[in-house]
Amino acid sequence: MEDVHRDVEQWDGWFEDFFALLAGLWCRVEPRLTARAYLKALLAPVERKNTWQIAAYLGHTAPDKVKNLLRKTTWSWSQLRDQVREFTVEHLGDPEAVLCWTRPPS
Q: Is residue 97 part of a domain?
A: no
| The predicted structure's pLDDT at residue 54 | 94
| pLDDT beneath 50: ranges in the chain | 1, 4-5
Structural domain of residue 42, as residue ranges? 2-92
| The predicted structure's pLDDT at residue 1 | 46
Q: How many domains does the chain have?
A: 1
Task: Report whether 87 contacts 39 (CB < 8 A).
Answer: no
Q: Is residue 98 part of a domain?
A: no
| The predicted structure's pLDDT at residue 96 | 79
Distance, CA of 56 to CA of 46 (rounded, Å):
10
Q: Is residue 11 part of a domain?
A: yes
Q: Is residue 56 part of a domain?
A: yes
Please choose, from the candidates 89, 72, 106, the residue with its C-alpha nearest in 3D space to the C-alpha of residue 21: 89
| The predicted structure's pLDDT at residue 106 | 63
Q: Is residue 16 part of a domain?
A: yes
DSSP E strands, the chain = none
pLDDT, tens only, 21-49: 888 888 899 999 999 999 888 888 888 99
Q: Is residue 104 part of a domain?
A: no
Q: Is residue 67 part of a domain?
A: yes
| pTM of the complete model beyond 0.75 | no
**Sign of the torsion formed by the C-alpha atoms of 20, 24, 29 and 35:** negative
Distance, CA of 96 to CA of 101 (rounded, Å):
17
Q: Is residue 48 part of a domain?
A: yes
